[in-house]
Structure 1
């Protein structure tokens, strides 16, 4: 599959090279989710200042696009070769809390989701190189998703964002999907 080289400033997002179809999928998924979120919370967005609304929607776009980008061999391999970067990336992910704060609602539930996601992602990251990593991440993600609807004060749009945040950080990003010894589409031409 043909790839395009990614500018070095964007390696943390896309890795070093991506097939154009993957880039298109990442962007379209991110935009689709961000627009759907904006439409579903339009009264809330209209009630806050423009910069807060715009930043909240951009963070939702980043969460959604990251879900897809982190599954690509290029992004996966970039972080697999840089374990410290992966740990830093997990630690700085406060997006779900920032969205709640920017919109002025649901901060408590967002903090609960963030704390669970970061703790679980850290545990999964510590299993790097072990066969159990994917299984443990799947169990922790499933547990988190099962309890999302039970968190008091978490609105349906924020529950969707929270679910994508968990998927992005805990499973899509924290797991090395193409470990050494496993077939990798980027190494096998497909």
Structure 2
């Protein structure tokens, strides 16, 4: 399979090398996610829709890219990189602000996603990363869905965000992470 060397400025997104197939899937995920959230984009000013669209595209791209060996290996090589990644991922909250989506379910989704991802990262040596990550996503989605103001767009964004951060990113896919 043909691979491409990734410019160093994009290593945090793609790692050092990516296959053509992976890059294609990552590129396809972005417009699918934006289209799924389109109803919310149509109700706000264009500048807010554009910024939110970029963040939604980033979440979708990461939901695919973080499963790839190259991106996984990039973050597995540095605990500091993993920590910084988790700290800066406030995307779902910012998207909610930009699209006038309910803030409380967005905060619930963000806080539980970061907590679940942190727990998964800390369990690296235990072999429990995968089942704990699965449970973390169940908790994130369940708690967000039970929040009275949750909307379909926000639930979709929460699912993408939880997949990106908990399942795709927090698990070290190159290690023995499950029974």
Could you say whether these structures have the same fold, taking a TM-score greater than 0.5 normalized by the shorter chain as the test? yes
> In the alignment, is residue 41 of structure 1 matched against residue 40 of structure 2?
yes
1:89 aligns with 2:85: yes
SS of the equivalent of 2:172 reads coil
Q: 1:64 aligns with which of 60, 66, 71?
A: 60
Instruction: Label 1:150 to 1:180 Cα distance change in 2 as closer, same or farther (>3 A).
Output: closer
CA distance in 1, matches of 2:62, 2:90: 14
In the TM superposition, 1:133-152 aligns within 5 A as: 133-152=129-148
1:1-190 to structure 2, matched below 5 A, reads: 1-38=1-38, 40-44=39-43, 48-179=44-175
Structure 1: 5+ residue stretches without partners: 183-190
TM-score, normalised via structure 2 length: 0.93
The normalised TM-score by structure 1 is 0.88
Mapped partners of 2:101, 2:144: distance in 1: 16
Q: Secondary structure at the match of 1:104?
A: coil
Residues 60 and 51 of structure 1: is their aligned pair in 2 closer, same or farther, counting only changes over 3 Å? same
Q: Which residue in the other structure is 1:187 paired with?
A: none
List runs of 5+ in structure 2 lacking aligned partners.
none
Moved over 3 A (4+): none
RMSD: 1.7
Shift in Å, 1:181 = 9.8
Change (3 A) 1:3 1:111: same
Kindly indicate whether the alpha-carbon contact (under 8 Å) linking 2:105 and 2:144 is maintained by their aligned counterparts in 1: no
Structure-1 separation of matches of 2:36 and 2:74: 30
